[in-house]
Amino acid sequence: MSNPTDFMTMQEFAKIAKEKLSFETWDYLIGGAYTETTLKRNRQSLDNIAFRPRVLNDVEHVDASVELFGHKLRLPVIMAPIGSVQDFVEGGGVVPTKAAARFGCYHMLSSVCKPYLDAVAESVDYPKIYQLYVRGDAEWVDDHIDRAIAAGYVAFCFTVDLDYYSKRERDVAKRYLSTSRKTQASGEEWQKRFNWDDIKRIRAKYDIPLILKGIATAEDAAKCVAIGIDAVYVSNHGGRQLDHGRGGVDLLPEIVKAVNGKAKIIFDGGIMRGADVVKAMIMGADCVGIGRLQGLAAGAAGEDGLVRMLELLEEEAIAALGMLGVTKWDQLDMSYLHAAPEVTPPHVLSVFPLLDEGY
């Protein structure tokens, strides 16, 4: 497909991305850690939730927007940090940043993405978030925060679930290293040393909204609230870190209870469809992050593909809200959900069943 507007379904991004990306890059994008059990549970946990709709409500006008960190988002979506997005699309981190600005959502730039913090900030005048992997001491960390603030980033995120880089066996089997692993693997001992005392120090020094990404338990969520973290980012790193973890959306109930409205909750973990967004929002998320779906759209059609993907995601989410019988997010509660077994064995792309039929 030469024209991104020709994309009419989400699965088309996966089909075209697989055709365009190298075998090594494709496997890096879709793969997980070790047995890929956590990755599969992300999909399974979303598929194990069914909807309970209400009918005969006026749903002509559905508003899917939210406000986060002082800015209105057209859809409660953050394009999550991808460390090697430059491997999927020429232009690297500038591409999703521009796409987010065109559509009206956030892009969270990874510190192991090219180009780096300042160059991406200069590429477009639109709110964006910066995510950091720690590769130095307190002075090194503070320098990055200072630069992010000076460059106009509206929030700052630390990823805290990558003290050890997992073995992604799809990559290891081919002896493949992404560009971010080739250039940013040194200094990982600083990430291993990074701890709650460091976060307390940073919180006391800086006013910028702080996000901790990789929170997976009520215990750690409670610690976030106690020290004044602005947003708890619930994530198991897309199944790419700790194997045999729980499915992403299964983490939400205990964390929502622990946070108790005292911080925003961002969720990612297998979000591929508008219905996935709706399920996460009903369960207490304030916003969702999309990683692999972002990579598929970028790999398929670059900036225009990302914008089109977000349009389709919005279309699916609005349709789901309307068919549930509501027009705004705050009209939903847990009574709109019901436990149900999945109908398809879960894998990273099982949400696109027509791929298996050759579409």
Q: Are 248 and 268 in contact (CB under 8 A)?
A: yes
Query: What are the two backbone dihedrals, phi and then psi, of residue 134, each rounded to the nearest 5 degrees?
Result: -80, 125
- CA-wise closest residue to 275 among 321, 338, 307: 321
If we measure between CA atoms, which residue out of 302, 358, 355 comes closest to residue 3?
302
Q: In a 3-state reduction of DSSP, which class is residue 45? A: helix
Place of tokens 């510190």: 111
Sequence-distant (6+) residues with CB within 8 A of 75 are 64, 65, 66, 103, 104, 105, 277, 310, 313, 314, 317
Reply yes or no on whether 237 is catalytic: yes
C-alpha pair distances (Å), 185 with each of 93, 142, 179, 190: 19, 20, 10, 11
Asked if 179 contacts 138 with a C-beta cutoff of 8 angstroms, the reply is no
- Alpha-helical segments (H) within 185-337: 188-193, 196-205, 218-226, 252-259, 274-282, 292-324
For residue 249, give the nearest of 240, 263, 238 by alpha carbon.
238
Sequence-distant (6+) residues with CB within 8 A of 40 are 32, 239, 346, 347, 348
Helix (H) or strand (E) holding 130: strand 129-132
Q: Within 13 A of 108's CA, how many CA atoms are on the CB side?
A: 28
Residues 6+ apart with CB under 8 A from 62: 318, 321, 322, 326, 327, 328
User: Exactly one of 61, 144, 237, 244 is catalytic; which is it?
Assistant: 237
190 is written with which tokens? 């600083």
Active-site positions read: 237
